[in-house]
Amino acid sequence: MADKQATREAYGQVLLELGEKYDNLVVMDADLSGSTKTGVFKKAFPDRFFNMGIAEQDLMGAAAGLASSGKIVCASTFAMFAAGRAFEVIRNSIGYTHLNVKICATHAGITVGPDGASHQTFEDLALMRTIPGMTVLNPSDGNSAKELIRQAVAFDGPCYIRLGRASVPQFYGEAPDIKIGRGNLLREGKDVTIVATGILVSSAMEAAESLKADGIDARVIDIHTLKPIDEEILIRAAEETGAVVTAEEHSVIGGLGSAAAEVLSAKAPVKMGFVGQLDTFGESGEPDELLAKYHMTAADITAKVKEVLGK
Amino acid sequence: MEINELEKTAAAIRVTIIKSIHAAGSGHPGGSLSAADIITALYFEIMNIDPQDPKMKDRDKFVLSKGHANPAQYAALAERGYFPKEDVMTLRKLGSKFQGHPNMNYVPGIEMSTGSLGQGFSTTVGMALAYKMDKSTGRIYTMLGDGEMQEGIVWEAAMAAAHYGLDNLTAFVDWNGLQIDGRNDDVMKVAPIADKFTAFGWHVISINGHNMKQILAAADEAKHTKGQPTVIIAKTIKGKGVSFMEDQAGWHGKAPNDDECAQAIRELGGEQ
């Protein structure tokens, strides 16, 4: 087991396995196959790979056409241009039709790094979450990414899978107990719950560990499925710990924080805090520098927990 | 079907278009009437389809990329026996499967949900790729409006179709010259359409879109064109067949009132 892996690397690896398993699996890209790692599939299954050029709208439209013809389609490009530029094509031709397209969007969030603000998307989870019938996944490490992609390809319907550029710690095992739609309780705790998604799950675990020193017993939950969200695990956490802090590499507007608040404000209101990109654009820099500058580190989660608990 | 029978069928389809839009109280008669002859030719002569088995393997598929002309498609599917004609009279009503723009999951014979311009065309690139992969004998047909060609996705799809040599794909352009805000030439010039598609690597045929003989001959030429997709640029008249609607941008998206409906049906030789 590798200590660190980018979720996009895991995507490339699992595509090979899935290509063997499903002879109707088709992979599409928009001139980024080296970066998204679909190039790995292209090499193994050249007849089932289509490069659509730098044309993300047509990528999604053609994906819908292939899916309507009985293919399972994994369509990849950077998250900014998948969820952002092609949003309305996804909404009408993949969402409204409920077609079997898995949008595997890489280079999400601020950890895309030096490419800067034009390529750093903080809006994709919010956008995808608003589409009826769309399953929205945000794996936290390579192993969970592989398992979630396996499960996504196994069901019939549209799915958005958020993947990252940067290598992140691998903390799920090779065969993780993980299921679409079910949150994962990673750490028990009774004073507060940190609900995290994507690459901030490992930061949440770090934060929980450091909070011990302050006498705060923090629960940690991985919400890898933003939609349909596991309401039960959130409600139980709120009722048992009395406070919830969310953490995501995404805008605090519309992502995990909003999704959790939608559930909890109605069914188990507790004090909440939100760690994520604060209504601002990013900039060029290394991933770690950017996470620090834009307040999405373990230390930021720790500080937010203390603020919410008034300590 | 003989040419004169096709023409009669097209007239019957035009009557259903008028009646269903009148019953709905809204809809798009102009572009439905301009598209009616081509859509009739597709469903009654050109395409290999079976109304009893709408999902037949290797069937030909038609995607109406200019989805707002779907009264013409609904009328043709009903005339062809996919469902009773009376059903179409629920067009645009709450709870009807005959939505204001086509939904593939509600209506048999509809191959793709369309309405947002340009996207239907893009999906046909995927359908044609899938048929190529499967070595299918089926062919993919689509129809675009002229104003629709102002959408960027159309040219992304046109580039991809030529790049992949999709000779199983045939696109009709319903070139009636008008869009909501007026003439294409005034709103946003789309001409020269033929030169654009030629430059994109398509085989181009230009016809009169109300001449059945020309429509069938062009479809046949497309079928025999190898290595590249074909576009059939069909010069049409918006509102064709109803005197007061012909070549009037104002009839793009407006339902006829009772008197206008009666007159239109009379002109088309239909039963009131």
What number is the average pLDDT over the span B47-60?
A: 98
From the list B111, B116, B126, the residue facing A92 with the nearest CB is: B116
In whole angstroms, how far apart are CA B239 and each of A57, B194, B236, B243?
31, 23, 9, 8
Whether the Cβ atoms of residue A202 and residue A33 lie closer than 8 Å to each other: no
| A56 included as an active-site residue | yes
> In angstroms, rounded to a whole number, what is the distance separating the alpha carbons of residues A269 and A165?
35
What is the Cα Rg of chain B in Å? 17
Q: Is B96's pLDDT higher than 90?
A: yes
> What is the residue-wise DSSP string for B188-244?
S----HHHHHHHTT-EEEEEETT-HHHHHHHHHHHHT--SS-EEEEEE--TTTT-TT
> In angstroms, rounded to a whole number, what is the distance separating the alpha carbons of residues A207 and B99?
52
Q: Give residue-wise pLDDT tens across range A197-239.
A: 999 999 999 999 999 999 999 999 999 999 999 999 999 999 9
From the list A26, A65, A96, the residue facing B123 with the nearest CB is: A65
> In angstroms, rounded to a whole number, what is the distance separating the alpha carbons of residues A247 and A245?
7
Pairing of β B182-183 and β B178-179: antiparallel
Share of chain B above pLDDT 70, in %: 100
Give the model's pLDDT for residue A171.
86
From the list B112, B125, B127, the residue facing A58 with the nearest CB is: B125
Task: State how far residue B146 is from chain A, nearest Cα, in angstroms.
Answer: 19
> In angstroms, rounded to a whole number, what is the distance separating the alpha carbons of residues B169 and A205?
54
Q: Give residue-wise pLDDT tens across range B249-271.
A: 999 999 999 999 999 999 999 99
Pairing of β A192-196 and β A243-251: parallel
> In angstroms, rounded to a whole number, what is the distance separating the alpha carbons of residues A16 and A155?
18
Element housing B260 (H / E): helix B258-268
The answer to whether B123 contacts chain A (CB < 8 Å) is: yes
Whether the Cβ atoms of residue B138 and residue B167 lie closer than 8 Å to each other: no
Whether the Cβ atoms of residue B30 and residue B68 lie closer than 8 Å to each other: no
Q: Which residues pair with B235 in a beta bridge?
A: B175, B208
Residues of B in contact with A47 (CB under 8 A): 133
The answer to whether B200 contacts chain A (CB < 8 Å) is: no
Start-end of H helices in B25-140: 29-41, 70-80, 119-133
Whether the Cβ atoms of residue B263 and residue B42 lie closer than 8 Å to each other: no
- Tokens (6 digits) for B247: 């070549």
From the list A65, A70, A73, the residue facing B125 with the nearest CB is: A65
Residues of B in contact with A67 (CB under 8 A): 126
Task: State how far residue B68 is from chain A, nearest Cα, in angstroms.
Answer: 14
> In angstroms, rounded to a whole number, what is the distance separating the alpha carbons of residues A246 and A268?
15
> In angstroms, rounded to a whole number, what is the distance separating the alpha carbons of residues A260 and A235?
9
Extended beta strands in chain A, E state? 4-5, 25-29, 49-51, 72-78, 101-106, 135-137, 159-162, 168-169, 184-187, 192-196, 218-222, 225-227, 243-251, 271-277
Q: CATH 3.40.50.920: which residues of chain A?
A: 184-306
Residues of A in contact with B104 (CB under 8 A): 68, 97
Whether the Cβ atoms of residue B126 and residue A66 lie closer than 8 Å to each other: yes
Taking any CB pair shorter than 8 Å as contact, residues of chain A touching chain B are 26, 47-48, 50, 52-53, 55, 57-58, 60-71, 73, 88-89, 92-93, 96-98
SS3 state at B18: helix
Residue in chain A nearest B125 by alpha carbon: A62
Element housing A161 (H / E): strand A159-162
Residues of B in contact with A98 (CB under 8 A): 105
Residue with tokens 């005197």: B243
Q: Is B145's pLDDT higher than 90?
A: yes
The answer to whether B180 contacts chain A (CB < 8 Å) is: no
Residue with tokens 């903080």: A122
Compute the count of residue pairs across chains A and B with CB atoms less than 8 Å apart. Answer: 103
Cβ separation A97–B105 shorter than 8 A: yes
Whether the Cβ atoms of residue A120 and residue A178 lie closer than 8 Å to each other: no
User: What architecture (CATH level 2) is domain B3-268?
Assistant: 3-Layer(aba) Sandwich (3.40)
Q: Which of A9, A20, A56, A206 is catalytic?
A: A56
**Mutation for A interface: B101, B144, B153, most A CBs within 10 A:** B153
Whether the Cβ atoms of residue A50 and residue A28 lie closer than 8 Å to each other: yes
Residues of A in contact with B133 (CB under 8 A): 26, 47-48, 71
Cβ separation B123–A52 shorter than 8 A: no
Task: State how far residue A146 is from chain B, nearest Cα, in angstroms.
Answer: 26
Extended beta strands in A33-100, E state? 49-51, 72-78
Task: State how far residue B89 is from chain A, nearest Cα, in angstroms.
Answer: 24
Q: CATH 3.40.50.970: which residues of chain A?
A: 4-169
The pLDDT profile of chain A, 311 residues, written as one tens digit per residue, is 458 999 999 999 999 999 999 999 999 999 999 999 999 999 999 999 999 999 999 999 999 999 999 999 999 999 999 999 999 999 999 999 999 999 999 999 999 999 999 999 999 999 999 999 999 999 999 999 999 999 999 999 999 999 999 999 998 999 899 999 999 999 999 999 999 999 999 999 999 999 999 999 999 999 999 999 999 999 999 999 999 999 999 999 999 999 999 999 999 999 999 999 999 999 999 999 999 999 999 999 999 999 999 99
Cβ separation A93–B112 shorter than 8 A: yes
Element housing A305 (H / E): helix A298-309
Whether the Cβ atoms of residue B64 and residue B43 lie closer than 8 Å to each other: no
Domain ranges of chain B: 3-268
Cβ separation A67–B152 shorter than 8 A: no
Cβ separation A63–B157 shorter than 8 A: no
- Tokens (6 digits) for A94: 């993949």
Residue with tokens 């193994």: A44
Please choose, from the candidates A225, A251, A115, the residue with its C-alpha nearest in 3D space to the C-alpha of residue A161. A225
The answer to whether B165 contacts chain A (CB < 8 Å) is: no
Give the model's pLDDT for residue A1.
44
Task: State how far residue B114 is from chain A, nearest Cα, in angstroms.
Answer: 7
Residue in chain B nearest A47 by alpha carbon: B133
On the question of a cis peptide bond just before residue A269, with omega within 30 degrees of 0, the verdict is no
The answer to whether B128 contacts chain A (CB < 8 Å) is: yes
- How many of the other CB atoms lie within 10 Å of CB of A98? 17
Q: Is B176's pLDDT higher than 60?
A: yes
Please choose, from the candidates A233, A77, A101, A97, the residue with its C-alpha nearest in 3D space to the C-alpha of residue A162. A77
Task: State how far residue B152 is from chain A, nearest Cα, in angstroms.
Answer: 9
Fold of A184-306: Rossmann fold (3.40.50)
Please choose, from the candidates B146, B109, B139, B136, the residue with its C-alpha nearest in 3D space to the C-alpha of residue B124. B139
Provide the pLDDT confidence category of residue B272 given band limits of 50, 70 and 90.
Answer: confident
Whether the Cβ atoms of residue B68 and residue B31 lie closer than 8 Å to each other: yes
- Tokens (6 digits) for B44: 């009654």
End-to-end Cα distance, chain B: 26
In whole angstroms, how far apart are CA A171 and each of A122, A205, A282, B47, B147?
24, 10, 28, 56, 53
Q: Which CATH class is domain A4-169?
A: alpha beta
Cβ separation B126–A62 shorter than 8 A: yes
